[in-house]
């Protein structure tokens, strides 16, 4: 059994490692640096278990550049795990990367079974199978957390297979042999429903984040103890004491684009909640920005650009929107950023100061979406909504 995984991101890398426990797996990507990392037994992403895998299993995985059709030849299964960014111009996911890969597969290896792990619009798989005259395509979404992708891959919450026939059973069997979790709930359904599960799941999570953020907004307006309110609300077992830590808004790679895509899929369908989930995030970011402006300080320190403590990227991080909003409404502010992931002197024209003591000293106000314990000593300087010092 030979498997090709296209896309060396969280989803692709975690799935490649998972399947390499039972099968021969090759990774492919257009990013030369990611390919080199894998071939040098280094993880290109920040994930403790993935890093451990490379340390303990040298040369178990190899990667190649996905630059020609020949890359896709002679594989039994090809997993597509490339990014699908949301295009605000067309109000839809940009799925061009997937189509480019499918064209090459159809040209050189039409017998391969293709498993799409990339997030896609509802109705996409059915449309693309018809357009390409290619039936060996199954959509099977992932529900991975950044920083814990391999753990979640080994111990999935559930398996969603977008095919009710023999093809779906083959795909399920492929993963069953590698996962650690026993008695896994598996749902076989048509592709439209599988695509819906992915988008509705992430939109629900965005809704929950927005709900607790609005509790925080209310409490701040009326000078109430938000911790007491949230603890009291979450003591109800129907609500639960999880995913309840207020933030500046939901961000990162998945939730903003997935909520927008679901709203786009709701075009001409009556709805108010989905629209409100998207709008509430913008309302929250503006509220946070205005609250910072009301402090009337000159020197604003931005503590970390990442969304989560264990993350290694800040793509679509909510703090970037906060910075842009503050710049727009007050050109006289001075910013300084503390972000150890950045090795340059500046980011978007803003000075970087990675000596923490110097950063604290130079900042009149420290804006932190998530607080590190090392900041507790200067609590009076901190502007944050983080109550529990956790990512969620």
Annotated binding site for substrate: 143-146, 198, 243-247, 251, 307-308
The residue written with tokens 């451990």 in the block is 52
The sign of the CA dihedral 233, 236, 239, 245 is positive
DSSP state of 60: S
Q: List C-alpha distances in Å: 99 to 197, 310, 375.
A: 22, 32, 47
- Angle between helices 273-293 and 318-329 in degrees, nearest 10: 50
Q: List C-alpha distances in Å: 251 to 9, 171, 389.
A: 18, 31, 17
Can 37 be counted among the known catalytic residues?
Answer: no
Q: Are 106 and 132 in contact (CB under 8 A)?
A: yes
Residue of 37, 153, 234, 254 with catalytic role: 254
Cα(212)–Cα(229) distance, rounded to whole angstroms?
Answer: 10
**Dihedral angle computed from the Cα positions of residues 302, 307, 310 and 315, in that order, rounded to the nearest 10 degrees:** -100
Nearest to 29 by CA among 58, 61, 2, 53: 61
**Binding site per annotation, positions for NAD(+):** 29, 34, 84, 119, 146, 257, 315
Number of H helices, E strands in the chain: 13, 16
Cα(95)–Cα(278) distance, rounded to whole angstroms?
Answer: 21
Enclosing H/E stretch for 194: helix 191-221
E strand segments, the chain: 2-6, 24-29, 62-65, 77-80, 86-87, 92-93, 113-116, 137-139, 159-161, 186-188, 299-303, 334-338, 346-347, 350-352, 365-367, 382-383
Q: Please give the positions annotated as active site.
A: 254
């Amino acid at each position: 059994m030979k498997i090709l995984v296209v896309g060396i991101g969280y989803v692709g890398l975690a799935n490649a490692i998972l399947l390499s426990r039972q099968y021969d797996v090759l990774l492919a990507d257009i990013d030369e640096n990611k390919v080199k990392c894998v071939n040098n037994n280094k993880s290109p992403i920040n994930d403790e278990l993935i890093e451990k895998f490379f340390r303990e299993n040298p040369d178990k995985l190899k990667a190649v550049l996905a630059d020609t059709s020949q890359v896709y030849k002679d594989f039994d299964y090809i997993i597509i795990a490339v990014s699908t960014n949301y295009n605000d111009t067309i109000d839809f996911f940009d799925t061009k990367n997937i189509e480019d890969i499918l064209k090459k597969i159809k040209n050189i290896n039409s017998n391969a079974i293709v498993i799409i792990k990339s997030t896609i619009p509802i109705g996409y798989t059915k449309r693309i199978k018809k357009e390409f005259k290619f039936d060996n395509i199954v959509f099977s979404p992932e529900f991975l957390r950044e920083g814990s992708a391999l753990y979640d891959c080994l111990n999935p919450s559930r398996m969603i297979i977008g095919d009710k026939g023999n093809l779906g059973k083959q795909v399920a069997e492929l993963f069953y042999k590698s996962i650690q979790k026993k008695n896994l709930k598996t749902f076989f359904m048509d592709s439209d429903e599988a695509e819906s599960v992915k988008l509705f799941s992430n939109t629900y999570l965005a809704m929950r984040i927005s709900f607790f953020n609005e509790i925080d907004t209310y409490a701040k307006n009326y000078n109430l103890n938000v911790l007491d309110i949230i603890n009291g609300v979450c003591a109800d077992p129907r609500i639960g004491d999880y995913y309840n830590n207020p933030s500046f808004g939901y961000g990162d790679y998945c939730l903003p684009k997935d909520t927008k895509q679901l709203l786009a899929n709701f075009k001409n369908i009556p709805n108010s909640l989905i629209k409100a989930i998207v709008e509430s995030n913008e309302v929250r970011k503006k509220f946070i920005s205005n609250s910072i402006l009301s402090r009337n300080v000159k020197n604003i320190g931005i503590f970390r650009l990442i969304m989560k403590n264990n993350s290694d990227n800040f793509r679509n991080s909510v703090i970037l929107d906060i910075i842009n909003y503050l710049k727009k409404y007050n050109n006289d502010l001075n910013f300084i950023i503390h972000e150890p992931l950045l090795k340059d002197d500046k980011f978007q024209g803003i000075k970087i100061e990675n000596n923490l003591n110097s950063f604290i000293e130079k900042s009149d106000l420290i804006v932190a979406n998530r607080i590190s314990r090392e900041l507790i000593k200067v609590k009076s300087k901190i502007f944050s909504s983080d109550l529990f010092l956790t990512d969620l």
